[in-house]
Chain A
Amino acid sequence: MPKRDDIKSILIIGAGPIVIGQACEFDYSGTQACKALKEEGYRIILLNSNPATIMTDPGLADATYVEPITAEAVKIILEKENPDAILPTMGGQTALNTALALAKDGTLEDFRVELIGANLDAIEKAEDRLLFREAMDRIGLESPLSHLVSNEEEGVQAVKDIGLPAILRPSFTLAGTGGGIAYNIDEFNEILRNALRLSPVGTVLIEESVLGWKEFEMEVVRDKNDNCIIVCSIENVDPMGIHTGDSVTVAPALTLTDKEYQRMRTASIEVLREIGVDTGGSNVQFAVNPNTGRLVVIEMNPRVSRSSALASKATGFPIAKIAAKLAVGYTLDELENDITKETPASFEPTIDYVVTKMPRFTFEKFAGADATLTTSMKSVGEAMAIGRTFLESLQKALNSMETGLTGFDEITLSDRIELNPDKNAILAKLSEPVPERLLRVAQALRIGITVDEIYGACSIDRWFLRQVQVAIEIEKTVVENGIPENKEELFQLKCNGFSDARLAKLSNKSENEISELRSRLGVAPVFKRIDTCAAEFSANTPYMYSCYEGDGLNHAECEADPTDKNKVIILGGGPNRIGQGIEFDYCCVHAAYALSEVGFETIMVNCNPETVSTDYDTSDRLYFEPLTAESVISLIKTEEKLGKVVGVIVQLGGQTPLKLSQALKEAGINILGTSPKAIDLAEDREQFKKLLDDLNLKQPQNGTVNSFEEAKIIAEEIGYPVVIRPSYVLGGRAMEIVYEEAALNKYMEKAVLATGDNPILIDKFLSKAIEIDVDCIADNENVYIAGIMEHIEEAGIHSGDSACSLPPQSLSASLLKEVERQSKLLAHGLGVCGLMNIQFAIKDEEIFLLEVNPRASRTVPFVAKATGVPIAKVAARVMAGERLENFKLEKQQLNHVAIKEAVFPFARFPGVDSILGPEMKSTGEVMGIDKDFSLAFAKSQLAAGAKLPTAGTVFISVRDIDKPSIVDLAVDLCYMGFLLVATTGTANSLEKAGLKVEKIKKVLEGRPHVVDNMISGQIDLVINTTEGSQAIKDSFSLRRAAITHNIPYYTTIEGAKAAVKGIQAISMGPLDVSPLQSYLNGSF
């Protein structure tokens, strides 16, 4: 049966900004869906507020709305574009919830637009805990014992029946936000209250604990004829109790008999049927009692999910693409298996390797965050690794994390245990669900704790534990006997997934010595292909992973089969983390597109399964490998066997590939674009200072130090406050503004411990300065200024965390000209070939250079979207040797304003302060675009989830330095009819200006105080600036209350000013939305 021709145009809703639980996997799925439906001839309309996505590239959809993902925005789009259908299953929970709201309020019916992929009924049945449970009962599938409650009283009754520990799951929240496990009644009450509030429908499911049971997921695809296939089974190494996004998982399931597996397979298909997912992909989660085999269904997602992205990458089966085609009426047998090209999509992939996914956490960025893993997701990214065996794949995954792990590195369980290895203390450590639990397991095995004892403490299946034990035993032999000097034995080590770096550590050698030994003995990996069918059919898609195969002595088969073309190798960014995420993947993907277009063979290397870069059709060839020197050099050596490796691009994937430059250079591999030397120069304070002096450019006063004594002298010399940070970091890791000597001392103690040899940088902190970001492209002759962005917040807040405006709003033409001049000087001075990002601070019309990064920056996709110039593509081609002048880029004169706003994960980390500083904390960003600043800013706030009020009460409390500047702002608010409440000091200064203000108590001043008012919904907007550690501490609960009660809040005056402008704009009438194409064509 052919595709549907009764629909001509389709609206695809994206997932919005990257947040915990919703990352770039939805760019991957959305991009696949766009491409798949467009090639079928449908008109595609797209909505996504995230400018860093590939799906929002103007060429991908026919009309691309980079607008807030709200029901209101969709309504206007429906009016303007009149699509026939909405595909809501590609944009995570955000898209699903938006579609659900529109279906419920009758909008979809009014516009005669149909939901395809999943209908209202199915979404409700899957998302509503009670309906889901009833559905499961109807098909005879067991669920954990549970009660749905809508108030605290019912909750207490429920827990009496169910017992403790109990799981609490608020209905309709993303990635389990607000849920948790309660072990005692106090905990229960606390979580319940929070969960009731966070659930948009005010209900919470109290559930029997299946903690410690085995956890499995099935990725199911169904077509309209009820044909169902299982794409992949996934087993969680971490048992039930840890969110699957936070669990180490493997594919396929490894500890099931066929009878158990088939029962689960049948059950998951029945679940799809009963829930009524007509077409597309879904994910069904199960728990299995390890002692009895009892199977209970946990939940299902009637849409593509993070797990579908993982399953797609793990098997080569493109779930999102297929799901999109099924949504328009195809059946599975009518679609081709892209990988084999000779079999249909209606089969179940079978694999001949093992895939391990490992989550990446960033608790270190959030002081006070509880690192205990629960049913609410906390990881910010993940890496996937592929090996021929579980151990190979697991150790590759550990190497892919980029947390410095080289394998099962030794850790300290606790100082007390080191001194006195008390078994109970060790077992207690093992029972804590924390990110490093596998390392703890390894450490416990080293100490001599048995597998059974460990199992008793952590419930990780013995099969996995025994595999770790194998690794630890091999490690022991290496420690005792050293590295074997014969080929066969060294090969055996490598077969088990030990990295050169790990072997070096175990044998007290350098990594180079190990890799030299390997190459001397001829122990090298081979590459195998991911082909969906375990080699049953031939596969033409070069999607590869490395492994050590064969018997170690005789020739082993390698399927890399390099071509004779000119190749460019693009190194991706690895697992997402704060500071390095989708923006860098965007750049890598664009480089692949651009260089393919001009005839290079593009070869992508990455280990992040969520990304577009690891889609098998993004580049010509894909190596799914850890971004370590060992892996990258091995694959390049293989590629060099035929054709010509023109070079490697290390500048686009963030800090990860940059770190490999030295090793690549030493291996004689050409690096494209700006030389690593120039990159180093920008990081080397002394050399850089000299360059600036030569160019006659100004920097804030600064110095480089290695000890507290040195730091003290420098700080006194340049004067407090100072910005202090280690060199060679991304995302402002460990960067702080220090106001006095005591804080400096504290910082240095920590820093010297953490960074060892790397020096510490100290800069004069320019208070109340305007910060700007410049992105430019340079070849050795010309420089193109791609975008100048003015930060909304003053200097001192990490550029990734501050909102910014393109074009700048408050800078004079002459100043901008000077900024351009300086940027060009720098580009030439450094010898930049490719992208460069510069941060300047402007204080009293004077320009200070803060930082230069001769590589892709986080703002590249934003600039590209705001200006319509594909700068990443241009940069890639320049790096590969083209002249900038070939592109005929002209200076942009924009008739619109684009605002980038950051999005933060604070809601996931109770106990963490949301105050911003020089260390980056945001997970993602949105873009607001409109004809003027106010409208664009209002949109950016809306898109970031802050609903600006147009009436109500504003709470103001600002530090002394801000008191003069608050007045104008308060006047504007009064004028718009807002009531003002303020703490005494602020109230006094406002009253002096003749404003009517109600005084309110600070939290420290007794009750009822401002937080009470916030909780009871009497405050609609918060403006709160503060400085000094005590004041910050005192106002902590205020900011937390704003987050948990979703009250828009601003912690800088400039941010507040922008917000007020935004409020003015939306007070004038509803926001309009327009496609990106209309701005870029100048038709606006």
Chain B
Amino acid sequence: MVNSDKKASFLFASRDTEILYRESGVDQDVSLAYPTLLQSFEDYASMSDAKATVPSEKRRVEQPASANAILVLADGTVFWGHGVGLENDIVGEVCFNTSMTGYQEIITDPSYAGQIITFTFPHIGNVGTNLDDLERETAAAAGIILKSDITAPSNYRAAQDFSCWLASTGLTGIAGIDTRNLTRRIRHFGAMNGIISFSSQKFFDVDELTIKAQKHPSLSGMDLASVVSTRELEKWSTGIWKFGSKVNDDGFENTEREDYHIVAIDYGAKRNILRNLAQLGAKVTTVPSNLSANAILNLQPDGIFLSNGPGDPAATAEYAVPIIRDLLNTNTPIFGICLGHQLLSLALGAKTEKMKNGHRGANHPVKQIKTGRIEITSQNHGFVISEQTLPGSATITHRSLFDGSIEGFEIAEKNIFSVQYHPEASPGPTESDYLFRQFLEIIKKARLSDNA
């Protein structure tokens, strides 16, 4: 594992304040705060849609008496609010998610490692939390930013109050923020780092916090997959969640059939992907992101799955691509999602780039090129394949209708395909789950031709 220990330190820093900055010495060009700030303001003032508020150039920030938390962006913007979860200082890349449901799934999605999620929907926490809507055993995001204070839950599935859950999972967040204003800032300037400081002492050194946010490394060039990946081989055997026909009959399906063996390389896999794979009637084994190709092939997989995950794909590629290339040579069917999709493209020689704003939400239209059908998809990515670098052997199968970017490709003769978006949903529309069945069909076909 490359550098993972070092870089890991800030990731879960929310659980250990002391190490917050101790290990964050990744070399970064920390430019001076004020020049950046001024330039940004000009950009902001010339925005086409509506002139945004330009904070006064002198940083006159009055602290409201009720504020016990602050969000400071790397560009110096300050938002006051009320802390939620654990009292702490946490740094990360501030992004936004436009889903109106599924906050628990989002927060536990490992792809959000290193990020502070701004929820654009104002009421988060209404339905509490439960043990079934987890994508990992605990929170993965660095922090959360909310508009409204958290309320007591009202839902028959709720097991715990959202506030309590946040505290128990060690997460820190801030509520009372004009999340729309924040989202507009991110849209115009691109994703930027920020710091949330939650302290009942209500003492905040804004300048110091700004510098901390600025000094914090960018997600570019950062391998985070190895941090969140499993450390050992694990078998996954629950299927997807179903509503019961009777009271208290809801729950995950037990999948007993093991007709095929799928090895899932875990770069930070969401559980619902594993559940969907198991649902196919396959034995699913998750393996560490750096497990060698040989070791993987020794497991005799019928298909290999490349999971989603956090961080810069190019950084993870350093060790992941050689493994994937070896696997490609075996013609074993491969299916990739999100980071897995990007790594597959990198293995084929393509390049990835950081997007100004990622795609994060549950309403993204994607067009299936072959059929013209539109899928409304769940998305969560901040990097994307550079189209001109994708080799000619790959056929683009899906495109974003928002920005035309590549959402899926395949090399049919090599039995490989991948998508940028999240067919496992959770949260989001489930209409793309055909991709899992497509994977199964490819596996079946490949096995038939092997036998032939």
Contacts and interface: CB of A to CB of B under 8 A. Distances in A.
B405 interface: no
Given A348-B376, A554-B62, A536 B127 contact: no
A146 B408 CA distance: 46
B160 interface: no
Nearest to A343: B402
A921 interface: no
A343 B401 contact: yes
Nearest to B100: A252
A292 interface: yes
> Is the interface on chain A under 10, 10 to 19, 20 to 34, or 35 or more residues?
35 or more
Contact of A389 (B81, B147, B364): B147
A314 to B, nearest CB: 12
A291 B250 CA distance: 13
Nearest to B65: A488
B233 interface: no
B405 to A, nearest CB: 13
Interface of A: 225-227, 229-230, 252-263, 265-266, 269, 290-295, 331-333, 343-344, 346-354, 388-390, 461-463, 466-467, 488, 492, 528-529, 533-540, 549-561
Pick the 10 closest A-B CB pairs, nearest first: A258-B102, A258-B427, A463-B154, A538-B49, A534-B120, A348-B363, A561-B50, A557-B53, A258-B101, A557-B181
Interface string B49-71: 11111011000011111110000
A496 to B, nearest CB: 10
- Which range holds the interface residue count of chain B? 35 or more
Given A344-B365, A462-B154, A535 B148 contact: no
B121 A534 contact: yes
Contacts of A556: 53, 178, 181
B80 A551 contact: yes
Contact of A549 (B102, B104, B178): B178
B53 A561 contact: no
B243 A263 contact: yes
Given A265-B429, A291-B156, A534-B180, A346 B66 contact: no
30 contacts: A253-B101, A254-B126, A255-B155, A256-B101, A257-B155, A262-B425, A291-B156, A292-B248, A295-B243, A331-B372, A331-B374, A349-B363, A350-B98, A350-B121, A352-B98, A354-B123, A388-B122, A528-B180, A538-B49, A550-B181, A551-B67, A551-B80, A551-B176, A553-B62, A553-B64, A554-B62, A555-B56, A556-B181, A557-B52, A558-B53
Given A466-B152, A535-B184, A350 B363 contact: yes
Given A354-B123, A550-B181, A551-B67, 7 more contacts: A227-B373, A293-B156, A343-B401, A463-B151, A488-B64, A549-B181, A560-B50
A353 B100 CA distance: 10
A759 B196 CA distance: 61
B108 to A, nearest CB: 12
A354 B154 contact: no
The secondary-structure label for the interface of chain B is: loop
Contacts of B181: 549-550, 556-557
Given A492-B66, A551-B80, A262 B430 contact: yes
Interface in B179-214: 179-181, 183-184, 187
A389 B123 contact: yes
A347 B365 contact: yes
A389 B123 CA distance: 7
Interface string B233-267: 00000000101000110100000000000000000
A557 B19 CA distance: 36
Contacts of B187: 535-538
B7 interface: no
Contacts of A549: 178, 180-181
Contact of A538 (B48, B61, B147, B401): B48
Given A388-B147, A555-B55, A350 B100 contact: yes
Contacts of A256: 101, 127, 155
B123 A227 contact: no
Nearest to B78: A554
A262 B378 CA distance: 12
A293 to B, nearest CB: 5
A225 B373 contact: yes
B149 to A, nearest CB: 9
B401 A333 contact: yes
A488 B66 contact: yes
B122 A354 contact: yes
Contacts of B63: 553
Contacts of A554: 55, 61-62, 78, 80
B202 to A, nearest CB: 13
Interface in B398-442: 401-402, 425-431
A557 B184 contact: yes
B157 interface: yes
A558 to B, nearest CB: 7
Contacts of A534: 98, 120-121, 180, 183, 361
Contact of B156 (A252, A292, A535): A292
- Residues of A contacting B: mostly: loop
B47 interface: yes
B53 to A, nearest CB: 4
Contacts of B120: 350, 352, 534-536
Contacts of B96: 535-536
Contact of A292 (B52, B62, B247, B426): B247
B147 to A, nearest CB: 6
B335 to A, nearest CB: 22
Contacts of A350: 98-100, 120-121, 361-363
A139 to B, nearest CB: 15
Contacts of A536: 96, 98, 120, 183, 187, 357, 361
Contacts of A354: 122-123
Contacts of A229: 365, 376
A854 B254 CA distance: 75
A1069 to B, nearest CB: 53
Contacts of A552: 64
B427 A538 contact: no
B133 interface: yes
B84 to A, nearest CB: 16
A290 B53 CA distance: 43
B61 A533 contact: no
Given A258-B101, A295-B243, A551 B127 contact: no
B79 interface: yes
B105 interface: yes
Contact of B428 (A258, A293, A294): A258
B67 A347 contact: no
A436 B209 CA distance: 50
B158 to A, nearest CB: 8
Contacts of A492: 66
B341 interface: no
B367 interface: yes
Contacts of A538: 47-49, 187
Q: Which of A333, A347, A551 has the most CB of B within 10 A?
A: A551
Nearest to A387: B122
Contacts of A352: 98, 120-122, 147, 179-180, 183
A256 B99 CA distance: 13
Contacts of B155: 255-257, 260
Contacts of B51: 561
A353 B123 CA distance: 9
Contacts of A253: 101
A257 B428 CA distance: 11
Contacts of B373: 225-227
Contacts of A252: 100, 121
A254 B105 CA distance: 17
Nearest to A354: B122
Contacts of B428: 258, 262
Contact of B133 (A259, A332, A351, A462): A259
B272 to A, nearest CB: 10
B162 to A, nearest CB: 12
Residue among B132, B151, B361, B374 facing the most chain A CB atoms (10 A cut-off):
B374
